[in-house]
Structure 1
Amino acid sequence: MKISLPDRSPPVSVGKLLCIGRNYADHAAEMDRAVPDEPMVFLKPASALVRSGGAVRLPPQSQDVHHEVELVAVVGTEGKNIPRSAALDHVAGYAVGLDMTARDLQAEAKERRHPWSVAKGFDTFAPLGPIQPAEAVDDVQDLTLRLTVNDETRQEASTRHQIFPVRDLVHYCSHIFTLSPGDLLYTGTPSGVGPVQDGDRLHASATGLDPLSVSVGRSG
């Protein structure tokens, strides 16, 4: 899949989907997990992406798929070992996204001390909204994230409550991976995660960003 980056032509191929777990204390609490002392990073494949207007497909392997609304930072400039002071200079834009999770498969993986790749990586498990230029966001740490399911609010919180702000996440991840244009950084979800069902309509928004809307259906 290709995405258009602000002030860049032509579109670039999506690279790594870097995702952060437990980046809001209230979400760590609802999952009965400790607050991490450094970012928890996991990966999703680019094939998990689906754009606004598309559909999340519930896989037959899971009976408990959950929604997780997130702010997504879109990398526009390559960097390695990026200092905190320059971290946001490497972000070309922001979008609202969803980290869909097969919670039953994740619980089983945790019990067995296995990776989360299967629970997180199904096709359509990384919905992504329209990308807005970074300059359009006054303060990335003062955005209100909101998710409704069938017009009922399920999640709502400010990015000011992130344990690790976006600047720190870019800095941290760049010391592990070379960040490249087209990489997407899903920055974690607040509390309120819950199951979705066949036929649900999900609408995610964040202050100053164009919304994301997807439907939910069973895989064919």
Structure 2
Amino acid sequence: MKLLRVGPAGAERPVVLAPDGTARDLRPLTPDLDGAFLAALDPAALDLAALPVTDLAGERVGPPVARPGKIVGIGLNYRDHAAEAGAAIPAEPVVFLKPTNTLVGPNDQVLVPRGSEKTDYEVELAVVIGRTGRYLETPADAAAIIAGYAAVNDVTERAFQFDRGGQWDKGKSAETFTPLGPWLVTPDELGDPQALDLRLWVNGELRQDGSTAAMIFPVHETVRYLTHFMRLDPGDIVITGTPAGVTLGRPGTPFLRAGDKVALEVTRLGRQETTLGQA
């Protein structure tokens, strides 16, 4: 099942895409795709035929999750990316947090921060939590609390991240730095989260071409691990790391600037396309 939110920023409406390609309005069931709806979601029990058909022509696509409680990031989760960053392979997941006000739609404008020297891209798989998770024991337990998956760009300002006091959150927190979507795809439709291709282009040039099969810490293990350090709640988002090919690992390649066009795709999770602006 594919879930999305369409409409002006701050006034999106929830929609489900039926297998026949028609879009169905979810507002008879929920005002939004928030944690409360995701906690009660049972894709097998949803009667799509009972929902009104809606037209998506010309509609802006927003992030497919409304008002997440937190966005949790995982760093250096691919060996090739750790190598290009000059970092050791982590013994445990590297965890950071992103403000929820970085969240934007998949095709919304990403703003290069004022004072930026090294704004960079990171195509990633995002996990959206659907049940509360505390001190989970096994990866199977973690799989049971996942509502769905989405494509995400973990935009990062490297000078803020590494050169301004060693705080990763500084480089991850600028407004618009988490474009998410277009869809939230439920686990039954996605299949194996460790068998997805991730690709990203800048101005038409392929920069990243990886697979979630290469993760150091697989999705379900990562979610299980996090629940021993924080409670995960319905609507929370976990972004799971990026493969090699970021600008940081390409000496001589210019970092992102206003006017650049970034596109990315993740298998079965759709495509993002954005043109960068200046904050």
The one-letter code matched in structure 2 to 1:167 is H
2:178 aligns with one of 122, 126, 132: 126
Distance between the aligned counterparts of 1:124 and 1:174, measured in 2? Answer: 27
Structure showing greater Rg = 2
Q: For structure 1, which segment, 76-85 or 93-102, has the greater mean C-alpha deviation from structure 2 after superposition?
A: 76-85
The one-letter code matched in structure 1 to 2:105 is R
Residues 161 and 78 (structure 1), Cα distance of their counterparts in 2 relative to 1, 3 Å cut = same
Q: Deviations over 1:172-215 (max 9, x none)?
A: 11111111111000000010001212111111111111212222
Identity %: 38
Q: How much is the aligned-residue C-alpha RMSD, in angstroms?
A: 1.9
Whether 1:136 aligns to 2:189 is yes
Query: What is residue 130 of structure 2 aligned with on the other side?
Result: 76
Contact preservation (8 Å) 1:3, 1:14: no
Contact preservation (8 Å) 1:5, 1:92: no
Whether 1:11 aligns to 2:65 is no
Contact preservation (8 Å) 2:154, 2:179: yes
Distance between the aligned counterparts of 1:35 and 1:27, measured in 2? Answer: 10
Query: What is residue 23 of structure 1 aligned with on the other side?
Result: 77
Structure 2 counterparts to residues 102-181 of structure 1, below 5 A? 102-109=157-164, 112=165, 114-129=166-181, 130-181=183-234
Distance between the aligned counterparts of 1:3 and 1:150, measured in 2? Answer: 31
Contact preservation (8 Å) 2:107, 2:179: no
The one-letter code matched in structure 2 to 1:27 is H
1:54 aligns with one of 103, 108, 126: 108
Residues 16 and 59 (structure 1), Cα distance of their counterparts in 2 relative to 1, 3 Å cut = same
Q: Deviations over 1:65-115 (max 9, x none)?
A: 000110000111111112222111111111110111111121214xx4x32
1:193 aligns with one of 219, 223, 246: 246
Whether 1:216 aligns to 2:276 is yes
1:92 aligns with one of 147, 154, 169: 147
Higher relative contact order (CA 8 A, sep 6+): 1
Q: Deviations over 1:16-61 (max 9, x none)?
A: 1000000000000001000000000000000111111201100112
The one-letter code matched in structure 2 to 1:190 is P
The one-letter code matched in structure 2 to 1:99 is D
The one-letter code matched in structure 1 to 2:147 is A
The one-letter code matched in structure 2 to 1:128 is L
Distance between the aligned counterparts of 2:122 and 2:113, measured in 1? Answer: 17
Q: SS at the partner of 1:55?
A: coil
The one-letter code matched in structure 1 to 2:237 is L
Q: SS at the partner of 1:79?
A: coil
Displacement, 1:150?
Answer: 1.7
Task: Decide which structure has greater strand share.
Answer: 1
Aligned pair count? 216
The one-letter code matched in structure 2 to 1:117 is D
TM-score of the two chains, using structure 2 as the length reference: 0.73
Q: SS at the partner of 2:110?
A: strand
Distance between the aligned counterparts of 1:196 and 1:89, measured in 2? Answer: 38
The one-letter code matched in structure 1 to 2:98 is K
Contact preservation (8 Å) 1:49, 1:125: yes
Distance between the aligned counterparts of 2:188 and 2:155, measured in 1? Answer: 28
Structure 1, unaligned runs of 5 or more: none
Find runs of 4+ consecutive structure 1 residues off by over 4 angstroms.
1-8
Distance between the aligned counterparts of 1:75 and 1:214, measured in 2? Answer: 26
Displacement, 1:5?
Answer: 9.8
Distance between the aligned counterparts of 1:3 and 1:218, measured in 2? Answer: 28
Distance between the aligned counterparts of 1:181 and 1:91, measured in 2? Answer: 9
